[in-house]
Amino acid sequence: MDDTTKIAITRRLASAAGHIKGIERMVQDDTYCIDVIKQIQAVQAALNKVSTMMLDNHLRTCVTTAIQGDNPLEREQMLEEVVNVFEVTGKLSL
C-alpha cells in the first residue's frame, strides 16, 4: 500500500475510533436512543468506506499481481478471498 493511502486509511480509522468514544459519552449522558443509533450507523458507513478503500488497494496490488503471475493456485485463492469478502454481505442466519 502506498503511503498516501495508508495515511488516509489510518486517519479514517482513528476518526471512527474517536467517533465511537463520543458515542460512549452519549450513552453515559443518557442521550436519546435514536440519536445514539444514528451515530452508530454513521460509524458503520465510515467503516464501509474504509473497507472499500482496502479492497480497492488489494485489487490493484495483490490481485493484479496474482492474475498476471503464473501460479494458478495463488490466483484462485485471491479470487475466492475477494468473493468471500463480498459474500459476507449476505451472511444471514434466519
Q: Which stretches of the chain bind its own copies, using CB under 8 A?
A: 1, 6, 9-10, 13-14, 16-17, 20-21, 23-24, 27-28, 30, 32-34, 36-38, 40-45, 47-52, 54-64, 67-68, 75, 79, 81-83, 85-94
* Cα-based distances in Å from 34 to 5, 26, 38, 39: 34, 11, 6, 9
- What is the smallest separation between the CB atom of 71 and its own copies, expressed in angstroms? 14
CB of 73 to its own copies, least distance (A): 14
Question: Measured between alpha carbons, how far is residue 54 from residues 3, 23, 39, 94 in Å?
Answer: 13, 25, 23, 29
Q: In whole angstroms, how close is the CB of 25 to its own copies at the nearest point? A: 9
* Grid-cell match 464501509, residue found: 48
Q: Which CB atom, from 67 or from 71, has the smaller least distance to its own copies?
A: 67
Alpha carbon 41 to chain centroid distance?
A: 14
